[in-house]
Amino acid sequence: MSQASAITPEIEIPSIPVTQLAPWAAFVFLTAAIVLFFISADQGVVSIPSGTAIHEWVHDGRHLLGFPCH
Amino acid sequence: MTPRTFLVRGLLAGLLAGFFSFAVAYTVGEPQVDAAIAVEEAGAAPAHSDQPASDGHSHSHADSGEDSGTQVSRGTQSTWGLATGIFAVSIAIGGVVGLVSAFAVGRLGRLRPGQSTAVVALLGFVAVWLVPFLKYPATPPAVGNGDTIGDRTLYFFSIQAISVLAMIGAVLLARRLLAGHGAYRAVLVSGAAFLAVTIVAGLLLPTVNEIGDFPGDTLWYFRRASLLTNATMWAAIGVILTGLVGKVHEHESAVAARRDLAASL
């Protein structure tokens, strides 16, 4: 392995520091969680807003993506 | 490479994966959704059709689109509605896979950025979707009692949370074992640990069986379509993002090599 890396010198792979990643991760994970909530579970157990319009709109996707729908 | 490098490419991979996944869901999945609704309307699944309105849910057909209480027609559900769900989930997962891949770069042994990205997408599919599906498989319309949606939602997200946490734990374990025991043993032991945790969790969580006399062939076709839809989404995200990240890494390596050469002259 050391021979192979000597023949084709691999530049060191620098990892991205956690402090640099954290704000991106916080924003994206929160946004993704909100999006996934509306697609996967809204107007099933909890309804924000009340009604069935969102449930019905994403109905087929919810079934085919594998979330419990109704 | 910055977090932005990965987020932009992850979102793009998610968007492109949405087209593939929607194509599969529409062509393979929708016929089975329609077949299941036909079963429901024929009254063959009494669990659901006894009380079509009381669970706040109904499926309208294009032919009888003006059913009271239904706001979205079947034609809209199977096209724009389906597309909304698939694309939103695909782009969200693409973004998350992108940022997790950004974290994984340089932290998974000697894997290059493209390789570690592929690992993140593959393990993500197993932990986020496959394990929950094996315990609580997707159910077509007409299967499922509206009164138990609370329990079933709780169970589903429980196994999903356990599976994701077990996968994070397994990867951390593999990292720890890598130095002293080599890659083969590290992956073997941590893979076994992941299986042990998810299997025990799967055995402890309650079984849901509300299928009644729903036809088995339609059920299997629907679940196969669900598997294909999600596998397509994750595979497309993984393949596209791996390609894009690999390209960035190649470019940065070439630039660094040129800089080193110039410095040595």
Domain ranges of chain B: 3-144+214-264, 146-209
- The answer to whether B3 faces chain A, any CB pair under 8 Å, is yes
- The answer to whether B49 faces chain A, any CB pair under 8 Å, is no
- The answer to whether A54 faces chain B, any CB pair under 8 Å, is no
Chain A residues whose beta carbon lies within 8 Å of the beta carbon of residue B237? none
- The answer to whether A25 faces chain B, any CB pair under 8 Å, is yes
- Please state, as a whole number, how many other Cβ atoms lie within 10 Å of the Cβ of residue B19: 15
Q: Which two tokens stand for residue B141?
A: 């319309």
Rounded mean pLDDT, A48-62: 86
- The answer to whether B253 faces chain A, any CB pair under 8 Å, is yes
Q: Rounded to an integer, what distance in angstroms lies between the CA atom of residue A42 and that of residue A47? A: 5
Query: Please, which pLDDT band fits residue A42 given cuts at 50, 70 and 90?
Result: confident
Read off the pLDDT of residues B135-184 as tens digits, 9 standing for 90 and up.
999 999 888 887 888 889 999 999 999 999 999 999 999 999 999 999 99
Q: What angle do CA A40, A43, A49 make, to 5 degrees?
A: 115
Q: What is the pLDDT of residue B70?
A: 67
Kindly tell me if the per-residue pLDDT of B50 is higher than 50: no
Among left, alpha and beta (phi > 0; psi -120 to 50; other), residue B61 is: beta
Kindly tell me if the per-residue pLDDT of B101 is higher than 70: yes
Chain A residues whose beta carbon lies within 8 Å of the beta carbon of residue B156? 67-68
- Interface test mutation site (partner B, options A15, A39, A63, max chain B beta carbons within 10 A): A63
Q: What is the chain A residue with the closest CA to B82?
A: A61
Q: Which residue has the tokens 């410095």?
A: B263
Kindly tell me if the per-residue pLDDT of A9 is higher than 90: no
Q: Rounded to an integer, what distance in angstroms lies between the CA atom of residue A18 and that of residue B214? A: 50
Interface contact flag, A29 B230, Cβ < 8 Å: no
Q: What is the chain B residue with the closest CA to A40?
A: B85
ipTM > 0.85? no
Task: Measure B161 CA to nearest chain A CA, in Å.
Answer: 13
Q: Rounded to an integer, what distance in angstroms lies between the CA atom of residue B125 and that of residue B128? A: 5
Read off the pLDDT of residues B3-46 as tens digits, 9 standing for 90 and up.
999 999 999 999 999 999 999 999 999 999 999 999 888 875 45
Q: What is the pTM of this model?
A: 0.88
Q: Which of B36-40, B48-52, B69-73 has the lowest mean pLDDT?
A: B48-52
